[in-house]
Structure 1
Amino acid sequence: MNRQNADERAVDEHAGFDLGRRNLLKMTGTGMAALSVGMAASGQAVAQSQVKLSDAWDKTFAKSDRVDYKKVTFKNRYGIILAADLYQPKNASGRMAAIAISGPFGAVKEQASGLYAQTMAERGFVTLAFDPSYTGESSGETRNVASPDINTEDFSAAVDFLGLQPNVDRDRIGAIGICGFSGMALTAATSDSRIKAVATASMYDMSRSMSRSHKDGYTMEQRHKVINYISQQRWIDAESGKPALGYHEVPFDEKGNILKGQRVLPESLPADPDPVLVAFFNYYKTPRGFHPRGINSTTAWTATTPMSFFSFPLYANIEMISPRPVLLVAGENAHSRYYSEDVYKEASNPKELVIVPNADHVDLYDQMDKIPFDKLTSFFKQHLA
């Protein structure tokens, strides 16, 4: 099944959810799209043989009349073409501070990162919400794979792009990582001094999560069981010539067997579901946050995705961010709260930890009354001054 049909089927499977312009999700099937991609300094255009962008406003949030918005593309250091949404304050003038934004893990720019980007643009920043490599509208084969290295590079590539914009001050660029892309944002800042300030929301450390599970709960036997499964899966993928899907963040069932499947989340909730599963389901699988290009909404990561995360710990050199500041935002009731608290202990000053009362992990994806946008605004205005 080609990608066009797969996207259409994903929408059909969720009847009753209307992105408003469903027909505009169809991709052109012939030719090479040549798009101007924000290389403003040179006026060049990049041939887009791998990236086809929809012109629809197909976000999971309402469009603001206070910002200017356009789709753009740019390349990372590995030659992968990233698709992004550029938001700018309407009628602004002069050189402004800018913020690169991505996450959550398995989401696309039409979901939480776009909401953050649009809101921060309303507050005076040039913002860029991007699809990570191999996902969403960005290029890269194989699809639905993640990498601690390449996804960290994606943030630096976003900084490249922002620094080429004529209305952006290169010395005033920051980053926001949401959920699983918090670790990539922090890691990028350890080796890219152009990122002058970094904030995280509902942080997940994907290296730690995949290799050690929630609150480091894996036994050594379980860790070996996971890597044995991944290793054997490589033989299967090599023989078939294509990667199998099926990575689950919690890969064991109640009997300790490895879970396999084509979906991150089930199509319906089981009886007496875990509250964390309910929170994710209520965002990704309902009109609140569903998007047909989102891995968490419609499909799964490749089964071997965890391999590189076992090998490469994120933000191993976190002390290198200092003297640039770090802001960590977590929900009071979030199952992931300990990631932010542990990073706060490890990071050098200046650093700040904000715990949002009565908020869980997923609340900080889109609940406007709980996301501390005033705090994010003051943080970046202070440190990108």
Structure 2
Amino acid sequence: MLKTLTLAAAIAVALASTAFAAPRVERVTFASHGEQIVGDLYLPEDLDAMEARPALVVTGAWMTVKEQMSARYAREMADRGFVALTFDFRGWGESGGARRQYEDPSAKIADIEAAVAYLATRPETDKDRIGGLGICASSGYMVTAAAKNTAIKSVALVAPWLHDAEVVERTYGGKDGVAQLEAVGDAAEAAYRSTGKQAFLPAASLTDDRAIMFKVPYYTEPDRGMIPAWRNETDPAFWRGWLTFDAIQAAPRLHQPFLMVHSEAAAIPQGAHKFYTRLTNSKPKRVLWLDEVTQFDFYDRAAPVKAASDAVDAHFRTTLGSAGKAGQ
């Protein structure tokens, strides 16, 4: 099913909505491949100790921590009655891991699976009703985890960054641009293997053109993504692993119900279209396109977040079942 919602309509919906009760947030820890993962578990205000709820693992953009966009969406989902878990991947934020600030798709996929396994042990959670909500880059990690892990019963993506080799070339300056980035990453990896020490670059900056994200919003704004919990650095050795990661290959292997919320004005919509076209086994599958919403506005702007969250809520309520009083 294909649907387009204008930003003006989304704003009207947001203004007409009623407030939800504030969720309770519990700090939690669990293990992934021998390292401690630190997370925040968002619990609906009306949670009944005798009632196991559907639960969601919520993951954010690359190079981020649990207090950024994933926290916003976890809170939105808990507001609507779901148990929602967000966490720091290994090497990021408060979680363990000797190698820091290193974007590793395979490790993050494994961490998502560990988070799902942890959620299944929680008394508030119905282990047969666990879903995955991926935002931006972690969308690729989420669908890859779901394609091989049947414990994830339903999937939703918001502003998904989904690429394969073809999309990578179109996004990063063709074969030459990709080769240059891989060379930078390979040099950093060789130095790390030789010395055991990491060399970091700014993740985002308005003035330093070495930054991985140069002159971008959200991460460079103190009232948005530039928060104390976020370390504005990254290990450039990640480039080859990131550029060769293929998220689109998961599409035909995905069998769970699927929702995607995106915008043609956001990042690499061509990858989202390509993924959705190849999504042949997910039933039901649905995509909602919002007009004139940028990638970064999906992270924290009221109207796009509200529109996306309402669509995600409806998807998971249909595919995972009732989420309690907040959604009734």
Q: TM-score, normalised by structure 1?
A: 0.70
Offset at residue 195 of structure 1 (A): 0.6
Gaps of 5+ in 2: 1-19, 322-328
Residue 86 of structure 2 corresponds to residue 129 of structure 1: yes
Residue 139 of structure 2 corresponds to residue 182 of structure 1: yes
**The structure with more radius of gyration:** 1
Offset at residue 284 of structure 1 (A): 4.0
Map of 1:1-385 to 2, 5 A cutoff? 66-76=22-32, 78-93=33-48, 94-205=51-162, 212-213=168-169, 215-245=170-200, 262-268=201-207, 280-295=216-231, 298-299=232-233, 301-322=234-255, 324-348=256-280, 349-350=282-283, 351-371=285-305, 372=307, 373-385=309-321
Structure 1 Cα separation of the partners of residues 146 and 85 of structure 2:
16
1:18 corresponds in structure 2 to none
Secondary structure of 2:237's counterpart equals: coil
Contact kept in structure 1, 2:131 and 2:152, CA below 8 Å: yes
1:37 corresponds in structure 2 to none
Structure 2 Cα separation of the partners of residues 282 and 309 of structure 1:
21
Contact kept in structure 2, 1:363 and 1:370, CA below 8 Å: yes
Q: Which has the higher contact order (CA 8 A, sep 6+)?
A: 2
Deviations 1:138-180 (A, max 9, x none): 1111100121111011111111111001121111000111111
Deviations 1:162-214 (A, max 9, x none): 100112111100011111101001101000011111111111136659x935x
Structure 2 Cα separation of the partners of residues 206 and 134 of structure 1:
23
Structure 1 Cα separation of the partners of residues 122 and 293 of structure 2:
36
Structure 2 Cα separation of the partners of residues 289 and 165 of structure 1:
30
Equivalenced residue count is 293
Change (3 A) 1:72 1:124: same
Contact kept in structure 2, 1:318 and 1:346, CA below 8 Å: yes
Secondary structure of 1:74's counterpart equals: strand
Contact kept in structure 1, 2:128 and 2:153, CA below 8 Å: yes
Change (3 A) 1:283 1:312: closer
Change (3 A) 1:366 1:142: same
Letter paired with 1:243: Q
Offset at residue 333 of structure 1 (A): 1.4
Change (3 A) 1:238 1:149: closer
Secondary structure of 1:317's counterpart equals: helix
Offset at residue 283 of structure 1 (A): 4.6
Gaps of 5+ in 1: 1-63, 246-261, 271-275
Structure 2 Cα separation of the partners of residues 73 and 315 of structure 1:
31
Structure 2 Cα separation of the partners of residues 122 and 381 of structure 1:
13
Deviations 1:74-119 (A, max 9, x none): 112x122111100111132201100001111111111110110011
Q: TM-score, normalised by structure 2?
A: 0.82
Structure 2 Cα separation of the partners of residues 327 and 144 of structure 1:
30
1:9 corresponds in structure 2 to none
Letter paired with 2:238: T
Letter paired with 1:231: D
1:35 corresponds in structure 2 to none
Structure 2 Cα separation of the partners of residues 132 and 126 of structure 1:
19
Change (3 A) 1:206 1:75: farther
Identify the range of structure 1 (339-348 vs 373-382) with the bigger mean alpha-carbon deviation: 339-348
Secondary structure of 2:217's counterpart equals: helix
Secondary structure of 2:304's counterpart equals: coil
Deviations 1:21-45 (A, max 9, x none): xxxxxxxxxxxxxxxxxxxxxxxxx
Letter paired with 1:263: P
Change (3 A) 1:124 1:340: same
Letter paired with 2:26: K
Identity of counterpart residues, as a percentage? 26
Secondary structure of 1:285's counterpart equals: coil
Deviations 1:49-97 (A, max 9, x none): xxxxxxxxxxxxxxx8521111111112x12211110011113220110
Letter paired with 2:31: K
Change (3 A) 1:312 1:336: closer
